[in-house]
Amino acid sequence: MNESSVIEIGDMNWGEIVESSKKPVIVMFYSSTCPYCKAMEPYFIDYAKEFKNSAIFARLNIETNPWTAERYGVLGTPTFKFFCRGRPVWEQVGQIYPSILKKAVEDMINYGEECIKKSTPIGQDITGYV
């Protein structure tokens, strides 16, 4: 995929792109052999183009980036995770109706900041990762 509206990310640049972003970030965790990922990808690309001024859209291949997938509990693909100021605020696993994904993107853009204000961060020091 050579779509400039969707960034391909990995374990090494996750913090820079997702955790440090001031904009909401929508991540599609995928694998190369996942037929449902291939089915959802055109919609994800379309939404990335449509909402490019309001959010960052990224993809992470779980086969080549197992650390981040494990860190966020990704057990199936596709998994869509929405992050606000680096914190996960919404998740959807599996192939879904594109309209549901689009509504979730719109809600994230409109209400993500409100969601983050009503949550408590958990420090990374309590995980098994160093």
Q: Is residue 43 part of a domain?
A: yes
**Residue that is written with structure tokens 């183009």 in the block:** 49
Q: Is residue 130 part of a domain?
A: no
Alpha carbon 93 to chain centroid, angstroms: 11
Query: Half-sphere exposure of residue 59, counting CA atoms within 13 Å on the CB side?
Result: 25
Q: Is residue 129 part of a domain?
A: no
Look up the pTM and report it: 0.85
Output the CA torsion 60→64→65→70 (10° steps). 100
User: Higher pLDDT residue, 113 or 90?
Assistant: 90
AA letter at 72:
Y
Could you check whether the bond before residue 42 is cis, i.e. omega within 30 degrees of 0? no
Task: Count Cβ atoms within 10 A of the Cβ of residue 108 and give its class: 0-12 exposed, 13-18 middle, 19 or more buried.
Answer: buried
Number of domains in the chain: 1
**CB–CB of 91/27 below 8 Å?**
no
Write out the residue range of the structural domain in which residue 81 sits.
7-118
Q: Is the pLDDT of residue 21 over 60?
A: yes
pLDDT confidence band for 1 (50 / 70 / 90): very low
The mean pLDDT value for 8-21 works out to: 94
Query: What is the per-residue pLDDT for 36?
Result: 96
**Residues 26, 96, 5, CA angle at the centre, nearest 5°?**
35
Query: What is the per-residue pLDDT for 2?
Result: 46
CA distances for 96 relative to 4, 19, 22, angstroms: 24, 26, 27
CATH number of the domain that 54 lies in? 3.40.30.10
Q: Is residue 52 part of a domain?
A: yes
